[in-house]
Amino acid sequence: MRRAHTVEQVRAAEADLMARLPEGTLMQRAATGLAIAVSNFLGRTYGARVILLVGSGDNGGDALYAGVRLARRGAHVTAVLLSDEAHAAGVEALLAVGGRVGSADDVAGADVVVDGIVGIGGRPGLRPDALAVVESAAQNGVPIVAVDVPSGVDVDTGETPEPHVRAALTVTFGTHKICHLIDPAASACGPVHLVDIGLDLPPAAAESLQAADVRALYPVPRGESDKYSRGVLGLMAGSAQYPGAAVIATAGALGGPLGMVRYVGPDAVAAEVRAAHPEIVVGDGRVQAWAVGSGLGDELDVGRVRDLLDAEEPIVLDADGLRALEDSGDHTGVLATPHAGELARLLGVDRSTVETERLKHARLAAERFDATVLLKGSTTVIAAPDGQIRVNTNATPWLATAGAGDVLAGLCGSLLAAGLTTLDAASVAAYLHAASANLASFSGPTTALAVAAALPEATRIVLG
């Protein structure tokens, strides 16, 4: 599990550790890890031209002491001091090993720029002098390695309301931060390299499943399993206008661990579903979970869906099915899977607001509707009504294709029918959905049905 903590949690853990260590030990640990990461990023150290952008905080000190280590190994290191309160001992140490203090003009000829402008305590945005240096690096094609976080992003939300650093690599210390996982800030981080500095941390504010976590959660059938014990999903999807949504959602469900799908819908759509998937059973019957909404369009029966919401079986609400969701009643068995536009309509806000404040609005919806909310996007944010947050980060941009959400809804329903909680079903489905898209798009563009077809192979690879 990849875990991310808030600034407050990290600060408290750092203070506790620093109280038990000799002064400066924590900074030296961070600087050592940063120097190694920069050397690995460059592929060399001797002769490399390294620019340090140094602000007033501890991140500036980390950058300076990393620069000391790089200079000792033959790098040409120049510090650009962006604050009169730059770490004095770090500057002195750099000068003592042959480093120098320079200006923004030195950036153009650098091999790498190290962003130590502000740390996790910084507010969004950059001061004009810092922004000018960062823009110079971008204009000259010089990659930036961020210290802990890209300066200028909102660390605890992943928001980027002001100009900020866009890093080719971020080297973070002790734990991931929320901005490493959630877009738009996550896209500004580049790959994130974690350096262990020995922090004793509380439970994480956000988590991201890895392959081992998916293996541990996935409902694998046993020798005595039958189609009923593996789980039966009721699927209410598709309409005369959008019959393909039912076919695609069914494909997603069959790519999961369940034993049977019961399709409930118009006869003409049912015929198309059976033609594509002859193993489907058409008509009502006992189920362990429901997936409702994909492609229903104007044929949505709000009353019937609300009856299902009041029943004991867990339910996935996707697309048009979300219109049946009310902000009253017990919805703890509901998994809502909106994209930004659908969530905006549910909350009565602009789509652009949801897109720029993804974590905030996923949390708000989970609290308002007392449901688990899976907000689809480049980084999928999953918020549970009890405050738990999970994020999926392994998706490919090729997944932005018509019908991909129908596949995800069917897969979520399959995992619910097989016995997972709404939070675990959403988390496992998002991971496998993205893994399947990566397989399906290996040679280029893909389609929703190709993503669904790749689910068994992606699952086999993850399960090992």
**122 annotated binding-site participant:** yes
**274 annotated binding-site participant:** no
Last residue of a domain, one of 167, 182, 208: 208
Domain with residue 147: its CATH number is 3.40.50.10260
Last residue of a domain, one of 173, 208, 243: 208
Name the residue range of residue 179's domain.
Answer: 2-208
**62 annotated binding-site participant:** yes
Take residue 15 and report the two structure tokens written for it.
């203070």
Residue 30 pLDDT exceeds 90: yes
pLDDT at 56: 92
Whether 204 and 215 map to the same domain: the answer is no
Q: Inter-axis angle of helices 448-463 and 404-417, to 10 degrees? A: 40
Nearest CA among 400, 414, 358 for reference residue 383: 358
pLDDT at 130: 97
Whether 285 and 146 map to the same domain: the answer is no
- The C-alpha atoms of residue 157 and residue 172 are separated, in whole angstroms, by 16
Whether 314 and 181 map to the same domain: the answer is no
**90 annotated binding-site participant:** no
pLDDT at 7: 98
Residue 203 pLDDT exceeds 90: yes
Domain with residue 267: its CATH number is 3.40.1190.20
Q: What is the pTM of this model?
A: 0.94
- The C-alpha atoms of residue 59 and residue 397 are separated, in whole angstroms, by 32
Contact yes or no for 215/462 (Cβ under 8 A): yes
pLDDT at 330: 82
pLDDT at 328: 76
- Assign 342 a pLDDT band (cuts: 50, 70, 90): very high
**406 annotated binding-site participant:** yes
Whether 292 and 192 map to the same domain: the answer is no
pLDDT at 138: 97
Q: Which residues have CB under 8 Å from 396's CB, separation 6+?
A: 434, 437, 438, 441
**58 annotated binding-site participant:** yes
pLDDT at 443: 87
Residue 327 pLDDT exceeds 90: no
**129 annotated binding-site participant:** no
Whether 163 and 217 map to the same domain: the answer is no
Q: What is the mean pLDDT of residues 263-280?
A: 97
Whether 286 and 400 map to the same domain: the answer is yes
pLDDT digits (tens, 9 = 90+) for 423-453: 999 999 999 999 999 999 998 999 999 999 9
Report the chain's mean pLDDT, rounded to a whole number: 97
Whether 266 and 283 map to the same domain: the answer is yes
**123 annotated binding-site participant:** yes
pLDDT digits (tens, 9 = 90+) for 158-195: 999 999 999 999 999 999 999 999 999 999 999 999 99
- The C-alpha atoms of residue 231 and residue 236 are separated, in whole angstroms, by 16
Whether 354 and 377 map to the same domain: the answer is yes
**245 annotated binding-site participant:** yes
**151 annotated binding-site participant:** yes
Burial of 217 (0-12, 13-18, 19+ CB in 10 A): middle
Domain count, the chain: 2
pLDDT at 418: 98
**56 annotated binding-site participant:** no
Residue 387 pLDDT exceeds 80: yes
Q: What is the mean pLDDT of residues 183-211?
A: 97
**59 annotated binding-site participant:** yes
Whether 189 and 280 map to the same domain: the answer is no
**177 annotated binding-site participant:** no
**329 annotated binding-site participant:** no
Whether 392 and 343 map to the same domain: the answer is yes
**120 annotated binding-site participant:** yes
Q: Is 76 helix (H, G, I), strand (E, B) or coil?
A: strand
Last residue of a domain, one of 208, 232, 260: 208
Whether 93 and 190 map to the same domain: the answer is yes
**405 annotated binding-site participant:** yes
Whether 133 and 228 map to the same domain: the answer is no
The size of the chain, in residues, is 464
pLDDT at 329: 77
**339 annotated binding-site participant:** yes
- Element of type H or E holding 441: none
Residue 214 pLDDT exceeds 80: yes
